[in-house]
Amino acid sequence: RQRFDQWLRLQCDLHGIERTPPESGLVYDFQFDVLDDVWKPWMKTIPEYVIPSKAPFQELIVPTIDSVRYTYLLDQHIRSRRHILLTGNTGTGKTVNVTQYMAS
């Protein structure tokens, strides 16, 4: 991740691209909003999470940077009618993300 982040920043410099990702994190921590022409942290791309008052604890799914990012990528692939395969270690939220996406 760090190597790609460094490479992308170098490419932006070499090609005179002014809208580079913020220095406060890696490129993976942000989404480029083409309408506002700015890099936004992933958590700023969704409404603020409010815990439902009577929701059972075991049913709470609190958004994280990773879940927001993966849900966005899942949505983009589905909207463009492209296949997607989610891979990763056990317990990283793949099934939860897909289930939550399909329920929305």
**What string of DSSP letters covers the chain?**
-HHHHHHHHHHHHHTT---PPPTTS-GGGEEEETTTTEEEEGGGGSPPP---TT--GGG-----HHHHHHHHHHHHHHHTT--------TTSSHHHHHHHHHH-
CA distance 83 to 18: 33
pLDDT at residue number 59: 86
* Under-50 pLDDT residues of the chain: none
> What's this model's pTM, rounded to 2 decimal places?
0.82
Looking at residue 92, what is its pLDDT? 87
| pLDDT (0 to 100) of residue 104 | 87
Q: Scan for tokens 């793949």, then name that residue.
A: 94
The pLDDT of residue 30 = 97
